[in-house]
Amino acid sequence: MLPDPLHPALVHFPLALAGLVPLFVIGAIVAMRRGVAPRPAWGLVVAMMALLAGSSVLAVETGEDEEEVVEEVVDNDIIEVHEERAERFRNIALATLVLALVGFASGKVGLVGRGVASGMAFLLAALAWGVGESGGELVYQHGAANAYIEQSDTAIPAPQNHDDEDDAD
């Protein structure tokens, strides 16, 4: 049985993988410097990038499926910020996967593919932060989860945006 909504259950995979892939990149570089052939050393990076790219595609697709429901409780402009960040992340993840695959080539082509894909892996880690931040704001500051709470006397009200200075009084 799949969770409903599915998007919140899936979004953590690409975000976590984006933080892990740079560690695998570093491991592959260290392994290659210690004499491991590039293809086996780089293979784990490519596998992790494939998981990252695939999970980012699923996260964006399920987010688009949830958009109409969440628009009932959150302003569309706020949703658009998250959607644009997620789509950018997905597109760069797919491009990075292609470049990581180029890293299997021999000679300078493979070296360039591995180098550019490595840099992009670190970029993805930074972009993941922004995607997660905007998704968290949708849920915790703008009440997106309320779109899935049945309306009753016990429904939880949408959170209000409070300034930290108000709490200091």
Catalogue the long-range contacts made by 22-29 (C-beta closer than 8 Å, 24 or more residues apart).
Answer: 22/121, 22/122, 22/125, 24/48, 25/117, 25/118, 25/121, 25/122, 28/114, 29/118
Reading phi first (left if > 0) and then psi (alpha if -120 to 50, else beta), residue 143 is in: left
Residue by residue, pLDDT tens for the chain (169 residues) are 877 888 989 999 999 999 999 999 999 999 999 999 999 999 999 999 999 999 999 999 999 988 888 988 899 899 999 999 999 999 999 999 999 999 999 999 999 999 999 999 999 999 999 999 999 999 999 988 888 886 544 555 666 666 555 555 5
Q: What is the pTM assigned to this prediction?
A: 0.85
